[in-house]
Amino acid sequence: MNILMALSQLEVTGAEVYATQLGDRLKQRGHQVFYVSDTLSCPHQGPHFKLRFNKRSLPRRFWHVFYLIYLIIRYKIQLVHAHSRASGWSAYIACKLTNTPMVTTVHGRQPVHRSRKKFHALGYHALAVCENIAQQIIRDLGVPSEQVSVLRNGINSQEFYPLPAANNSQPVIQIIGRLTGPKGELVYQLLKQCIDLNAYRVQVISGSRPDARFAEFESKVEFCGYSSNIRETIQQADLVIGAGRVAMEALLCQKQVFAVGEAKALGYITQANLPAALASNFGDVADDGRTELDIDYSSLAKQLAGLQQQAPVSEQLVAAVKAEYDLDGVCEQVLKLYQRAYVYTKQKEIPIIMYHRVTKDDSLAGTYGTYVTTERLEQHFQTIKLMGLTPITFSELADIGLEHRFDHGKRYIILTFDDGYQDNYDLLLPLLKKYQFKAVIYAVSGTDHNRWDVEHPSKPEQRFELMSPETLRDIDQSGYVEIGGHTLNHPKLAELSDAEQRHEIQQNKLDLENLLGRELSTFAYPYGNHNQQSKEIVKQVGYQFTVATDSGPVAMHEDLQQIRRIVMFPSTSRFGLWRKIKGNYTLRKAK
């Protein structure tokens, strides 16, 4: 996908570090990532476009929207990920006008006023970096809870691993963070009231220049400026004071952390107070609606005086932090949201269409009419070609990568044929070769004909032959067909015991894999009939993709054991096919 990261900032923030690290991860996975922001100091892969989001006059905001629309169109942006209020507001308008999916990561408390409640401008979904932010968005802005979830601002944990304890003759305390706004005032008060500047060597690490009020500390405090490598910087620290990403990264290095943020003071982080630290982003966000820091500095002074009595940071604490913030795990969750946002905003998903038998004419319609004539099927193939859709198999989808099914310039469709009839070899395969299309055939392996229909007690069907094992092998080796599992005897799985279901599914898979000499990746429930146990069994036996009929989530990636398909009928015309495969059919049907 082509993704635009939008930020508004004048100095390095945790949001920028997260956005660029996430962007680099997405780039590694084959996505194209672009950035638009006032400034961008962190190393990053992908173009950066400068836009002064901090200039918020009405004319400027119009310009921001027009420029974002230009970027979306010029670079074929498929999703915008905003990381700040100012950029989010403009991105929201631009995305609405261009029907572009948008999500927002909310890194801090949101201002509460009437217009913000009416126009929260968070896009399809808001990702709060901690629980207190999520609660505030829902409580104060009235955002529906289903549009908000908590996802940590991930850290490239491979860059942060335990450091040995510092061996300093005089303990080193490092304060890391901005020197502007509330955090600047916090740093000033820590230096003024809390830290014994004679007992400790104090270093302030910040991209902000110290203003006049810090002049009184120049002889006793080292103002070290910005660090592009926090891990290297904190090697010599005995204690790191900070909040947000600073606290997380220091803990991953097994450094003692004293968490004080814009909303609350947590003190030394331990296993006991880690849940409170996670919920408040290590002190940056209150849980009670307060917007001003209320700190007992004398209490902090007493705690800091006991630095040398503190127990070392445990490996269990480091592991707990890594589990919450590991960038790869966060990236996986972000990509799932991107896919969902794309499907529901663009109203598009890969069409997966279902056929059964192929006949020369209507004389072999049978009792149930589960067929399509070669004339009708060729009309369908011509329409698919005219629409620019590329038929692929599930194995090819796995190779492409499920998250890449919406990549710009790619339009995929999956053609499926159930049961494995002989006519698929006789009549379907020549058409696949003619149009250079691929298809998936789901084969029953326990009978040589459609016995499940022929032996129906009240509505028996004509006998139609299934492909022999030799024919199945031939069509599989043709290069145009992927064979999938479809049980031994085509039962309604939900009506069977767990043991019977497992036998039908697993033995069919073993039969076909022994015949074809390769593993199967996809399975189809006969009649689309299944229950939760069916889903668990197909996953356990190793199927990556399992198709149903008209059940399952609209977005395919949300349940790979219950993928929706679109039924084709003998009467489905060119127009009917177009209507069903243009992208939004399953969304309309699911409403």
DSSP category for residue 565: -
Quote the distance between the C-alpha of residue 456 and its chain's center. Answer: 45
CB 140 within 8 Å of CB 165: no
Same fold, 2-154 and 347-590: no
The DSSP code sequence of 298-354 is HHHHHHHHTGGGSPPPPHHHHHHHHHHHBHHHHHHHHHHHHHHHHHHHHT----EEE
Alpha carbon distance 393, 441 (integer Å): 10
Type of residue at 133:
I
Please report, for the chain, the start and end positions of each structural domain, with discontinuous segments joined by +. 2-154, 158-325, 347-590
The DSSP code sequence of 218-269 is TTTEEEEE--S-HHHHGGG-SEEEE-THHHHHHHHTT--EEEE-SS-EEEE-
CATH class of 347-590: alpha beta
List the beta bridge partners of residue 77: none
List the beta bridge partners of residue 412: 390
CB 253 within 8 Å of CB 162: yes
HSE, CB side, 13 Å, CA atoms: give it for residue 222.
Answer: 11
Q: Under 8 Å CB-to-CB from 403, ≥6 apart: which residues?
A: 1, 29, 31, 335, 338, 339, 557
Residue 50 has which token pair?
């400068």
Question: Does the pTM exceed 0.85?
Answer: yes
CATH superfamily of 158-325: Glycogen Phosphorylase B; (3.40.50.2000)
CB 394 within 8 Å of CB 439: no
Alpha carbon distance 46, 4 (integer Å): 10
Q: Under 8 Å CB-to-CB from 103, ≥6 apart: which residues?
A: 79, 80, 81, 82, 123, 124, 125, 126, 127, 337, 338, 341
Is residue 416 within a helix (H) or strand (E), and if so which, with residue range? strand 412-419
pLDDT, one tens digit per residue, over 67-114 is: 999 999 999 999 999 999 899 999 999 999 999 999 999 998 887 777
Place of tokens 């908000």: 148
Alpha carbon distance 548, 528 (integer Å): 4
- Is CATH 3.40.50.300 what the domain over 2-154 is classified as, yes or no? no
User: Per-residue pLDDT for the chain (591 aa), expressed as one digit of tens each?
Assistant: 999 999 998 877 889 999 999 999 999 999 999 999 999 988 899 999 999 999 888 899 999 999 999 999 999 999 999 999 899 999 999 999 999 999 999 998 887 777 667 778 899 999 999 999 999 999 999 999 999 999 999 988 888 888 888 889 899 999 998 898 888 888 999 999 999 999 999 999 998 889 999 999 999 999 999 888 888 889 999 999 998 888 999 999 999 999 998 888 899 999 999 999 999 999 888 876 555 566 788 999 999 998 888 889 999 999 999 999 999 999 999 999 999 999 999 999 999 999 999 999 999 999 999 999 999 999 999 999 999 999 999 999 999 999 999 999 999 999 999 999 999 999 999 999 999 999 999 999 999 999 999 999 999 999 999 999 999 999 999 999 999 999 999 999 999 999 999 999 999 999 999 999 999 999 999 999 999 999 999 999 999 999 999 899 999 999 999 999 999 999 999 999 999 999 888 888 776
Alpha carbon distance 226, 230 (integer Å): 9
Alpha carbon distance 73, 537 (integer Å): 45
Residue 591 has which token pair?
């409403």
